[in-house]
Structure 1
Amino acid sequence: MAYFDVAAEAYVQFMGRFSLPLAEQFADVGLAGVDPSARILDVGCGPGMLTGTLAKRCGEAAVSAVDPSEPFVAATAASYPMADVRRASAEELPFADDTFGAALAQLVVHFMREPVRGVQEMARVTEPGGRVSACVWDHGGERGALSPYWKVVRRYDHGAGEGALAGSWAGDLTRIFTEAGVRDVVETELIVTLDFATFEEWWRPFTLAVGPAGAYFHSLNKIEQAGLVDALREEYGDGPMTVQAAAWTATGVV
């Protein structure tokens, strides 16, 4: 996940503003019907946005979390020292079979090297009757948190964007879960709405080189970067602005 070889604080500034409110809604889905005493796994935890929500609801000691990024693992472990936080990929989870009552992956499936294998691993470490859940932005439907940015970029670069990433269009998470052997899969959508007082407040985190959007900006030369910023400002004005983001969510039973 070279897109995320960045400081934890950069990710928090860029995506944390969306993923924190998303985590509250996603936890409602991923913990539904799960035994309150069960252990819970956060797959692809990043700097710990979902981890914190799970710790608050289930108790920090009941939560385990993994991520392949060392800075993210260090940040999550520092924030939640009673949680079991490890460096690992979704495709190779370092836990025994049937360990958890629920496994959740927020904004991760579309960056897994092998999404079906990653969900299979989540199911393997979840006990029979436990719940496996994932959510991803609706990049394919151009309703994701970053869609306002990519909408303008594609005027100049028609092939740019994240719409082809796994799980990021209607029904694709269900396909991945079904191929992974998860039962009774239900797919829904979650909505997050954020208000920004100024254009700069919304735009500045895109310059931090986080994820495909940040990497794309840094791939441009200085003249191209300035042109893109001008085009974005022309489209959205100086603010205030509101971004409404939709995320597909799939949940099922092991």
Structure 2
Amino acid sequence: MSQAPIRFDDGSAYERGIGVWSRLAGQVFLDWLAPSLGFKWIDVGCGNGAFTELLVERLAPSEVQGIDPSEAQLVFARARKGASGVEFRQGDAMALPFDKARFDAAVMALVIFFVPDPAKGVAEMVRVVRSGGMVAAYTWDMLGGGFPFDPIQVEFRALGITPPLPPSVNASRMNVMRDLWSNAGLQAIETREITVQRTFADFDDFWRSSTITGSIRPIVAAMSASDVEGLKSRLRARLPADAAGRITYSARANAVRGAVPE
């Protein structure tokens, strides 16, 4: 049974389900980038502002523009106290509403596999970043088992349910990301894996947090009560709790960065 396309129209639900994971990976990503303070940034596919907030908190940017197609996500982003001063606007990653060389750095956080034409999205980031500026991205290793919800998706498949994948899921592969950056003419290209770990208070905390988002919620909602209980039982076996009842597991992202030619 195949599912409808993934949609993220609830910023609050996204925050609880994937926003925490996003910030965990985003911290490591920014440590790796080690950019200068005071840059002008564009956060392409900013969603509910989880990563955008990190930019503001850590890098004292002189300007941040957040672009996303979902107005519902942007409403949540605009309400973030930690993202004060950011301009969030609805827009398309493949047609950014900015002039050439406007920014010092452009970033896609967990977004490139949602862009219908990833090469066009990268080309747009290159266009709006100045010579010598940085273009970077990180994305869950969807095809390598790194997605935070992979334990649930594995059990879905065991039940004959095919969970939805992003439209450009192949762009989550490390070699594909490197090729996208190279083909866009970027220089000094580097890649790395990012592994992060999250701990849930107990199974119920894991279940509530992981089944609230757009990619998982509709599947669970369509299941019978007995099938849901069976899924929970399988997940408990897959993700054993420690003596205090806590559940801890890891997710993995692929990251890439490059410089716009001088």
When normalised by structure 2's length, the TM-score is 0.86
1:196-217, CA deviations, whole angstroms, 9 ceiling, x for partnerless residues?
Answer: 2211111112332x24333433
Partner of 1:75, secondary structure, is helix
Alignment partner, residue 184 of structure 1: 188
C-alpha displacement of 1:162: 4.1
When normalised by structure 1's length, the TM-score is 0.88
C-alpha displacement of 1:251: 0.5
Q: Which one of 198, 204, 213 corresponds to residue 200 of structure 1?
A: 204
Equivalence map 1:59-138=2 (5 Å): 59=60, 61-79=62-80, 80-138=83-141
Query: How many residues are paired up?
Result: 251
Q: Which runs of 5+ in 2 are unaligned?
A: none
C-alpha displacement of 1:237: 4.1
Equivalence map 1:214-253=2 (5 Å): 214-237=217-240, 239-253=245-259
- Mapped partners of 1:207, 1:246: distance in 2: 19
Q: What is the aligned-residue RMSD (CA, Å)?
A: 2.4
- Mapped partners of 2:171, 2:41: distance in 1: 22
- Mapped partners of 1:215, 1:181: distance in 2: 40
C-alpha displacement of 1:234: 3.3
Distance change (3 Å), C-alpha of 1:139 and 1:5: closer
- Mapped partners of 1:78, 1:148: distance in 2: 32
**Segments of 4+ in structure 1 off by > 6 A?**
none
- Mapped partners of 1:53, 1:221: distance in 2: 40
C-alpha displacement of 1:10: 0.4
Amino acid in the other structure paired with 2:236: R
1:55–1:62 CA contact under 8 A, matched in 2: no
Determine what percentage of the aligned residue pairs are the same residue: 28
Q: Which runs of 5+ in 1 are unaligned?
A: none
- Mapped partners of 2:77, 2:62: distance in 1: 13
1:44–1:90 CA contact under 8 A, matched in 2: yes
Amino acid in the other structure paired with 1:236: L
Partner of 2:25, secondary structure, is helix
Which moved further from structure 2: 3-12 or 162-171?
162-171
